């Protein structure tokens, strides 16, 4: 069974924060694939459904970001889920807004939600890194992640969430590269190539000499 974990902070005051893009992504998957309604369990909210005909569980920890691992740990122990079947969707400062990357294992990069999950289940889970950009100054990071997305972000954010939800079955299939490519193309479709100019040189007309 695949466990899809969205990271964020609970409560309506945080719902549109950049730090909550993981919650937004999991919500979009639940809606698109007609998962069950959310219910309280594992110190979080869970929703069950199917991807590619296989059972999947969506989880939004309600422990606040810094303690996300408590919720994830309870869920994988109950269902005996291998960390390789855990996919965590989270905000990423080190990627430009609208960029997406996937990796398995590695460091937490200063992300407190990942740091907590590492402590509870180890590092061998899959991470879907959703770019929110860096404010450029370390002192402004907290304000940046805990502020709402700007109106100018709505276009790329909507495309990203739609593409993530549409292509979630690829995560269940283990096709992380295919998932990343599909989402990337949906956010920034390739620019249509301009037709090549005709380089055929017209024959010179015969020049008549005059006396």
**What is the tens place of the pLDDT at every residue in 137-189?**
999 999 999 999 999 999 999 999 999 999 999 999 999 999 999 999 999 87
Q: What is the pLDDT of residue 197?
A: 59
> Span 103-117, mean pLDDT?
93
Which CATH architecture is the domain 2-187 placed in?
Answer: 3-Layer(aba) Sandwich (3.40)
pLDDT band with cut points at 50, 70 and 90 for residue 96: very high
Q: Structural domain boundaries of the chain?
A: 2-187
Instruction: Give the tokens for residue 174.
Output: 């283990």
User: What is the torsional sign of CA 42, 129, 161, 135?
Assistant: positive
- Spatial contact of 111 and 90, defined as CB atoms under 8 Å apart: yes
- Spatial contact of 47 and 58, defined as CB atoms under 8 Å apart: yes
Residue 18 has pLDDT above 90, yes or no: yes
> Span 62-84, mean pLDDT?
97
Q: What is the pLDDT of residue 83?
A: 96
Q: What is the pLDDT of residue 11?
A: 95
Strand boundaries in the chain, DSSP class E: 2-6, 39-41, 44-51, 54-61, 86-92, 100-104, 126-131
Read off φ and ψ for residue 104, nearest 5 degrees. Answer: -115, 130
Q: Which residues are catalytic?
A: 19
pLDDT band with cut points at 50, 70 and 90 for residue 5: very high
Q: Give this prediction's pTM.
A: 0.88
3-state secondary structure of 200: coil
């Amino acid at each position: 069974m695949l466990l899809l974990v969205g990271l964020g902070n609970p409560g309506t005051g945080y719902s549109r924060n950049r730090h909550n893009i993981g919650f937004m992504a999991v919500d979009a998957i639940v809606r698109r694939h007609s998962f069950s309604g959310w219910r309280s369990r594992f110190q979080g909210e869970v929703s069950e459904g199917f991807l590619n005909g296989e059972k999947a569980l969506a989880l939004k920890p309600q422990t606040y970001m810094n303690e996300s691992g408590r919720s994830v740990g309870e869920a994988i122990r109950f269902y005996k889920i291998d960390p390789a079947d855990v996919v965590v969707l989270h905000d990423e400062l080190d990627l430009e807004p609208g960029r997406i990357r996937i990796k398995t294992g590695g460091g937490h990069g200063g992300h407190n939600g990942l740091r907590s999950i590492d402590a509870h289940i180890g590092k061998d889970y899959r991470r879907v890194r959703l770019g929110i950009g860096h404010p450029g100054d370390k002192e402004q990071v907290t304000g940046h992640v805990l502020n709402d997305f700007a109106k100018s972000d709505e276009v790329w954010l909507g495309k990203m969430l739609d593409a993530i939800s549409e292509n979630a079955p690829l995560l269940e299939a283990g096709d992380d590269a295919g998932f990343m490519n599909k989402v990337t193309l949906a956010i920034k479709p390739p620019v249509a190539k301009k037709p090549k100019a005709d380089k055929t040189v017209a024959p010179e007309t015969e020049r008549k000499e005059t006396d």
